[in-house]
Structure formats: structure tokens, C-alpha cells
Amino acid sequence: MDSFQDLGDLFSREFIGSGKGYGIKLLKDLSVHESKLQDKPIFSYTHYYSRKSALTCSNCFMNIGSLVENLNHVLKIAGKSISPELEPKINSFKHQFPEIEGVKLIRCNSNCDFVFCSKECLEASCGTHDILCKLTNEEKESWGIFERFALKTHENFYFAGLIYINILYDSIYGKTSVNEWINKLNEFWSIPWDKLSTLDSNSRNPLDIASESLCTLETSLKRFKNMAIEIDKDVEKLFSIDFYLRLLGMMDLVCVDIEIQNPLNDLLYNMVKDQKGKELIDMLSKDLIDVYKITRGKSSKMVINWNSGTDVSKDLNQLIESYAEILFKTIRKELFPDIIGLGLFNFISKMNHSCAPNFEVDYGKNNRANIIPLFDLRKGEEGTISYIDENDSFKNRQEKLLKVSLPTVQG
């Protein structure tokens, strides 16, 4: 097993100055050739879209399941599935392309919607999984309403809900107290997010919009407090609108995007380069195109004339005309979208932005962030990352930075 350097021996959160607040400084020299620097997320979640477009481990986000299981996972959205007659033919290629079988997915004993890549990940996800898995039907309906609300407004509402679940779980089972979690989260902000910009705006105050949108939440929090036998001051602070709003603002400012390439695209590409593999691709062509349409928001009920190509958009027409040659060999269009999510990390989430950063972040098979130094660094230097594409124009960078620095809530 690979060993990774303890980032606590390398990085330290320190006050940088009044203009920046806090940031991350290096405790020792670091070579550009340094590898195996990884930051594991404290909290993370996959976007709803990614959960629908691929089978992923609920804990580490690794793509799991066989090719057939992943295809059926997407096709199920449109009420479809791969023909049972095709499955034995697909399985017959496992000796040549073992990746077809994929990482065997593991379910919990309750057979809920959570799936995992290993028993270790199943055990590591105990907080969120244990609570959501054991909800009553009425509680599941309430959580579903909350999730749908988040998808219509801002998905960070859902992420914040997951964070609350983890904090409550740790508190109930004596792992980490509410006060310890509050103090840990306090490390990620030094100035309230609504005070960070002095720009004039004619738009409505985000706090006003948030107050309206969170009326339901406020009511539920009051009910929670009334139901509890005894509420200490830490729990009362946790379940306050003020803390919740600060948490949402903090998430928009410091959470880091997670983007993992789906390995099934490489599998399909390698199959296309093999004559036998290409035959299998051709057998699956209709199912693959259905998956493409579903994941790109195309109508899954579109009637397609497979010979004339009518009623088909240009890119789909190319797929139908010569799937193996066009899709991967020529333009290598990816069938399965990247697995995307958001993470709150102990170190990179505390790094300030720079258009000339000295670190960049990348991902392998899971949600652990690989921290890559771009050049040799000296002890005492501040570690920075770019929140945006630093190669973009100055105007575009300003606009994008403003968006990530000023969280908005849709009313």
C-alpha cells in the first residue's frame, strides 16, 4: 500500500495579513518532484447528476460495478435495460477485458441505495449511511422533500444537511462533540462571507432571499429543539439559522470541486481498438447511444430511424453512422461523464486563491485530492491554488472569482 506524507507536518494554518486573513504556510522546504501528497476530505458529496450517470462508491466516489451494471443504472432512468441475451456475450469478453467486471459493489444489509467499493468504505461512511439507511418511511419522505428543495435552489443545502447528519452521529455515539465540530468548522472562515465584498449591487440581498427560502428549515429546527428533552448551548448554536447561513457561505468559499474521470471510457476506447471488442461495441450501440442521450439530457423517448438518421442531432447521427470510428478513434467523445462532487478538505480548502498558484489539485480513482507542487517551495511560503482557470482572460477571471466569492441563493 502506498504511504503518503502527513500533511500536518508540511502545512500550517496561519494568519497571512489583513487583506487575506488566514491561509496555509509551509513548515519546510518542498521539492517540485515531491509526490504522494494527498488531502482526504472531511466532508464530501457527489452531485445528483453524477449519482444518476454512474455507479459510485458512496464514500470515496470510485466508479464501481460492471459495465453492464453501469449501463443499466443509466438506462433505468428511461425505464430500459440491456437485453438479457446480450449479457452472456458481454461476460465472455471478461478474460480479454477484465475491466468489464469492474470493482464489485457492496451493499449494506438493509439493501438501501448506498453502494460501496469495499467493507472499509462501508464502515467509514457510518455517519450519513447509518442514519439515512434506518429512516422510517415518513422520515424518508421528509428527507426526499428536503433533497428536492435543494436541487431546485442550491445543492449546497443538501451538502449542509449531510454535514449536520455527520455531526449529530458523532455527537450521539461519542466520537466528536458538537462543540469540537463547531470549532473545527470555524477554522474555515475568519470574516463572514457576506462582508467580503463592498461592490454595489442592485440585486436583492442574498441574506433576504436566504431568509425566505429557509423558513421551512427554521420551523423544523424549532420543532427539533422542542422535541429534545435537554438542549445544551452547543447544540442550540448548531441548530441556529445564523450558524447554518455561515456554513452555507463558507461552503461556497472554501469547498473544492472534485472531478474524477470515469474509467469506463478508457475501457470502451480499448475495446474499440480490438477487432473482437469492436464487435461487442457494435452489439451494444443502441444501448450506448441511449446512455449518451440520457446523460446529456436528450429525450429518451425520441424515435430514431436507424437507417436514415432522421430526427437525430448532428452528434448523435455521427454516433449512429460509425460509432466505433467516430466516438473514440477520431474525437474520443466520452460516453460516461466525469464523476463530479464537492469536498471540504482540511488543507487545500484553507488555501487562498492565486492566478499564479504554486499548487494544483488533481484526482485519481477516488475523492482524495492529489496536491501537486508546481515548483520548488521554501519554508514559510504561502501555499495557494487557483479557484478558476488561470489561463482565462483577466475579465473572465474577475467575473468567475466574483461568482465563487459571492454565493447566491435562488428564491
Angle, helices 156-172 vs 137-153, to 10°: value is 140
Q: Kind of pairing, strands 41-46 and 38-39?
A: unpaired
> What's the pLDDT band for 51 if we cut at 50, 70, 90?
very high
Q: How confident is the model over 136-154, as a mean pLDDT? A: 89
User: Residue 251: its pLDDT value, please?
Assistant: 87
pLDDT of residue 127: 82
* pLDDT reported for residue 201: 43
Which domains does the chain possess? Answer: 1-65+103-262+336-411 (3.90.1410), 66-102+263-330 (no CATH)
Amino acid at 312: V
pLDDT at 331: 36
Return the pLDDT at 218: 65
Mean pLDDT for 284-299 is: 82
Percentage above 70 pLDDT, the chain = 73
Cβ(360)–Cβ(374) under 8 Å? yes
C-beta of residue 266 within 8 angstroms of C-beta of residue 231: no
- Specify which residues 14 forms β-bridges with: 23
**Pairwise pLDDT comparison (45 vs 126), residue with the higher score:** 45
Separation CA 326–CA 333 (nearest Å)? 8
Give residue 100's Cα distance to chain centre: 24
In this structure, which long-range contacts are made by residues 183-192, counting pairs with CB atoms below 8 Å and at least 24 apart in sequence?
184/42, 185/247, 185/250, 187/13, 187/22, 187/350, 188/250, 188/253, 188/254, 188/344, 188/349, 188/350, 189/246, 189/249, 189/250, 189/253, 189/254, 190/21, 190/22, 191/21, 192/246, 192/249
| pLDDT tier at 392, thresholds 50, 70, 90 | low
Where is average pLDDT lowest: 162-171, 230-239, 247-256, 364-373?
230-239
pLDDT at 43: 95
Element (H, E) at 115: strand 115-116
What pLDDT was estimated at residue 334? 76
**Element of type H or E holding 165:** helix 156-172
pLDDT at residue 406, rounded to an integer: 45
Average pLDDT, the chain: 80
Query: Distance between CA 212 and CA 218 in Å, rounded?
Result: 10
pLDDT digits (tens, 9 = 90+) for 201-229: 445 565 665 565 566 666 666 665 565 54
pLDDT of 193 strictly over 80: no
